[in-house]
Amino acid sequence: MVPAIEIRGADKHYGSLHALKAVDLTVDSGDFFALLGPNGAGKTTLINLLSGLSRPDGGILKVMGHDVVRDYRQARRSLGVVPQELVFDPFFTVRETLEIQSGYFGLRKNDEWIDDLLHNLQLSDKAEANMRALSGGMKRRVLIAQALVHRPPVIVLDEPTAGVDVALRQSLWKFIQRLNREGHTILLTTHYLEEAETLCRRVAILRQGQIVADDTTENLLQSSTSGKLEDVFVALMQDEGELAEP
Amino acid sequence: MHGFRTLFFKEVLRFWKVSFQTVLAPLVSTLLYLLVFAQVMADHAEIYPGVSYAAFLIPGLVMMSMLQNAFANSSSSLVQSKVTGNIVFVLLAPLSPGEFYGAYVLASMVRGVLVGLVVFLAAWAFVEIPVREPLWAVVFGLLATVLSGTLGVLAGIWAEKFDQMAVWQNFVILPLTFLSGAFYTLHSLPSFWAGLSRFNPFFYAIDGFRYGFLGSGDVSPWQSLSIVGGTCFALSWTTLALLRKGWRLRT
């Protein structure tokens, strides 16, 4: 089976900063995968390379077998990204935002799925509201709906629960778990390690642009005496004397 | 193709939602120019035989408003999207550089032509304007909005802050439109300024457009066509090459 995400030797510099150092990573189709690391480790850079927001200096990155540079159209159709920043277009309503995003991906009649997304993300009563009128949590949910609007097989969530209250976070994870059960591959970055521990079958940890751990959650937990992912994470960071900031 | 259509539609909807600011405001300011200049210059000699100064001025003002609004549409949309960060929604989509370029420029053309049409119809209510070579007016109207919309895309992908965009507005677009013969003929200028105007593509756009109405101009419409068309081609080629590289968009 084609891996959902395949990364070989991904390299990226920003000026003198070597942000990613020949990263290799494979995410199997249907997996629920956590990509962890302290601030500045390279998680968002890796996601930007996968989604085409940045260009790699070296290496090959594929989404569902499609090269993100040479076959960018298919690669982008296969990927839904929830960006870390709370961004929105103030000119449009929630429904218009989702219809426009659908259209970018070539979908004309997508109302049923848009209604389903609005319902599952508890946004149905805000469908005709302007994006400016929404709270931060609601904007975050619209971002998630935008990433899912073209039903991508691979979904990347870059810290999706930052600033989201507990009740909403729980309903959000239920929805994401449902998508995963339906066959979507999930790649998650988060600073809430208990979320990764509970939800993800596999975990990779980035430190200073390099993968320092890549294993099943179970194996990583077994490697720690406390059986907590947080301790595994802290130990890996302290190995190199780096100040851990989960 | 549907992605291109959606981006184009979104860009038209964006300016239409604030049409008070994007269509009506340029109409008012252009009519004020007409009111002031036509009154002040009414007693001056005719520029072309049988053509009043107001009839000479109107095609220039119409084209000036088209150029400024076509530029404003693509440039303001892009710089706002970059500053607020919502440009990611377009960059994450499976759109080619050509589709990206085409959608922004076509939406700029729609706004430029719409503003031009509204200004022309409003002016026509007060001043009789001959329309002797309508095909030339249409050709130069469309080409000028491509030229200005493309400059707007270039400025929009270059600028990362609003004050950088203000540099384009105040030091590129404003001088090019005001020193372009919108208010005067080339022959009425001192030789230095007349010579300098010949390097301004907006001058040829306005002169060719005015030829469409009056049947007279400072230079041949064919010369204007070759210069405006050549500039459009060069700017479009450059912009597409930069978009393919992801210049200042895909880091």
ipTM confidence: 0.91
Cβ A89–B81 below 8 Å, yes or no?
A: yes
Cβ A52–B251 below 8 Å, yes or no?
A: no
What order of strands is seen across the sheet that includes strand A210-216?
A: A79-82, A154-158, A185-189, A32-36, A202-207, A210-216
How do residues B66-76 score in pLDDT, each as one tens digit?
Answer: 999 999 999 99
Question: What is the reported pLDDT for B45?
Answer: 62
Question: What is the reported pLDDT for B197?
Answer: 87
- Span A76-102, mean pLDDT? 95
Residue in B178, B210, B106 with CA at minimum distance from that of residue B148: B106
Pairing state of beta strands A210-216 and A202-207?
Answer: antiparallel
Instruction: Spell out which residues of chain A touch residue B90, defining contact as CB-CB under 8 Å.
Output: 104
In a domain, B251, yes or no: no
Question: What is the reported pLDDT for A134?
Answer: 93
How do residues A183-202 score in pLDDT, each as one tens digit?
Answer: 999 999 988 888 888 999 99
In a domain, B250, yes or no: no
pLDDT at B162 over 80: yes
Q: Is A110 on the interface with B (CB under 8 A)?
A: no
C-alpha distance from residue B7 to each of A94, A97, B2, B42, B160 (Å): 17, 12, 9, 45, 21
Question: What is the reported pLDDT for A152?
Answer: 96
In a domain, B8, yes or no: yes
Residue in B93, B99, B91, B79 with CA at minimum distance from that of residue B14: B79
- Identify the sign of the CA torsion A95, A98, A104, A107: negative
The domain total for chain B is 1
C-alpha distance from residue A123 to each of A136, A168, B113 (Å): 13, 12, 38
Q: Which helix (H) or strand (E) holds A211?
A: strand A210-216
Instruction: Spell out which residues of chain B touch residue A87, defining contact as CB-CB under 8 Å.
Output: 84-86, 88-89
The four Cα atoms B48, B53, B54, B58 give a dihedral, to 10 degrees, of 60
- Expressed as residue numbers, the domain containing B51 is 2-245
Q: Read off the pLDDT band of A243 (50, 70, 90).
A: very low
Question: What is the reported pLDDT for A244?
Answer: 43
The residues facing A187 across adjacent strands are A33, A156
d(CA B206, CA B134): 14
- Span A132-140, mean pLDDT? 90
In a domain, B98, yes or no: yes
In a domain, B194, yes or no: yes
The average confidence (pLDDT) of chain B is 92
Instruction: Spell out which residues of chain A touch residue B7, defining contact as CB-CB under 8 Å.
Output: 103-104
pLDDT at B28 over 80: yes
pLDDT at A3 over 50: yes
Cβ A76–B93 below 8 Å, yes or no?
A: yes
Residues B97 and B243 sit within 8 Å (Cβ to Cβ): yes
- Span B145-152, mean pLDDT? 97
Residues A162 and A84 sit within 8 Å (Cβ to Cβ): yes
Residues A203 and A196 sit within 8 Å (Cβ to Cβ): yes
- Span B84-97, mean pLDDT? 95
The average confidence (pLDDT) of chain A is 90
pLDDT at A207 over 80: yes
- Span A83-102, mean pLDDT? 94
Q: In the numeric block, which tokens belong to residue B198?
A: 């010949």
- Span B179-206, mean pLDDT? 87
Cβ A87–B93 below 8 Å, yes or no?
A: no
d(CA A145, CA A155): 11
Beta strand segments in B14-161, E: none
**Greater confidence, B199 or B128?**
B199
CA A96 to chain centre: 24
In a domain, B175, yes or no: yes
Cβ A103–B86 below 8 Å, yes or no?
A: no
Residues B232 and B147 sit within 8 Å (Cβ to Cβ): yes
Instruction: Quote the minimal CA–CA distance from A225 to chain B in Å.
Output: 42
Cβ A106–B246 below 8 Å, yes or no?
A: no
- Span B202-229, mean pLDDT? 95
pLDDT at A242 over 60: no
Cβ B6–A88 below 8 Å, yes or no?
A: no
How do residues A9-18 score in pLDDT, each as one tens digit?
Answer: 999 999 999 9
The residues facing B149 across adjacent strands are none
Q: Which helix (H) or strand (E) holds B5?
A: helix B2-16
Instruction: Quote the minimal CA–CA distance from B69 to chain A in Å.
Output: 19
Q: What percent of chain B has pLDDT over 90?
A: 73
Class of domain A30-43+80-239: alpha beta
Q: Is A132 on the interface with B (CB under 8 A)?
A: no
| Closest chain B CA to residue A89 | B86
| Closest chain B CA to residue A13 | B251
List the domain boundaries for chain A: 30-43+80-239
Chain A interface mutation, best of B6, B9, B83, B104, highest count of A Cβ atoms under 10 Å: B6
Amino acid identity, position A120: N
Chain B interface mutation, best of A53, A54, A73, A131, highest count of B Cβ atoms under 10 Å: A53
Q: Which letter does DSSP use for residue A125 in this model?
A: G
